[in-house]
Amino acid sequence: MRDGRVGRKRAGRVSGPYGCLFRNVFGNSMNGPGRVPGLFNAGKGKRMLDILRNWILAICGTALLWGVGMALAGEKGRKTLGVIGGFATMAAMLSVVGNIDAQGVGVYVDRYREEAEEIAGQAQRQAAAETRFIIEERCEAYIWDKAGQLGVALRDVTVTAKWSGEGFWYPCRCTLRGVESRELSRAIEAELGIPLENQTWSTDDGR
């Protein structure tokens, strides 16, 4: 059982899971510069799951040691061991008091909510860009078809869509390269909703 947050190693300390348990339950009851921070003084920033884990393991480990000790002890030792074990188990159970950080739980939950919002926002923007592309492409295809029906010679069509603010893109302007046709312009205005002033015609020589 690794727990680097328990504190620095001291010479001669008991290692392993039960050493960790010892430190977690009793470590902080010692004073002085060699004090090992434990559950009684978890410090700020200690994560809730680590606190919960150490608390439960401390209770179970204490009870386990107590049980094995009672089984191995003789008749005379059992009374003393019973009292000591009882106090140790109570101390382990009460050790979590004061270490619970409810704000820490909120921060933990908020982290996932923010991540989810970022993912959803990015996907929404990408989908909107895809939809814009589809609409512009289809409007261009429509203008090409209409030009063909009217016998207008076009060289290039570019449609630009705009966000409506109500949840969709709509075609707002277009650039047409070829011989200008009033009939085609009126058809674009009537059927695609692009006003005449937003339609830009240019010939092959750039005029």
Partner 1 sequence: MDKLRVPAALAALLLTALLTAGCARAAGDYGWLGLDALTDALPEAARDVLEAENGTRSVGDSLGRMLSETLGGALQTAFRAGLATAATVLAASVLCGVAGELTPDRGKGIDYVNLAGVAAIAASAAGGFTTLMGEAAAAVGELTDLGTMLLPVMASVSAATGAVSSGAAKYAASALFLNVLGTLSKKLVIPLIYMYLAASLGQAAFGGGAGGVAKLIAGLVKRALIITALAFSIYLGAVSLIASSADAAAVKLTKTAISTLLPVVGGMVADASDTLLSGLGVIRGALGAAGLVAVAAVCLGPVARLLINAALLRCAAALAGTVAPRPVSEFIASVAEGYSLMLALTGAEAAMLAIAVISAAKTAGG
The residues binding partner 1 (CB under 8 A) are: 1, 17, 49-50, 52-53, 56-57, 60-61, 63-64, 66-68, 70-72, 108-109, 112-113, 115-117, 119-124, 126-127, 129-131, 133-135, 137-139, 142, 164, 166-171, 190-193
Helix, strand, or coil (residue 100): coil
Choose between 158 and 202: whose C-beta lies nearer to partner 1.
Answer: 158
Looking up tokens 């603010």 gives 165
Integer Cα distance of 1 and 6 in angstroms: 11
Choose between 66 and 201: whose C-beta lies nearer to partner 1.
Answer: 66
Helix, strand, or coil (residue 98): coil
Integer Cα distance of 198 and 62 in angstroms: 80
Choose between 197 and 205: whose C-beta lies nearer to partner 1.
Answer: 197
Structure tokens given for 154: 């076009």
Q: Whole-number minimum distance, CB 187 to partner 1, in Å? A: 10
φ, ψ of residue 176 to 5 degrees: the values are: -120, 135
Integer Cα distance of 135 and 161 in angstroms: 7
Choose between 27 and 171: whose C-beta lies nearer to partner 1.
Answer: 171
φ, ψ of residue 151 to 5 degrees: the values are: 75, 25
Task: Count Cα neighbours of 203 within 13 Å in the Cβ-side half-sphere.
Answer: 5
Q: Whole-number minimum distance, CB 89 to partner 1, in Å? A: 10
What DSSP character marks residue 177?
A: E
Choose between 90 and 129: whose C-beta lies nearer to partner 1.
Answer: 129
Q: Whole-number minimum distance, CB 41 to partner 1, in Å? A: 20
Q: Whole-number minimum distance, CB 54 to partner 1, in Å? A: 9
Q: Whole-number minimum distance, CB 205 to partner 1, in Å? A: 32
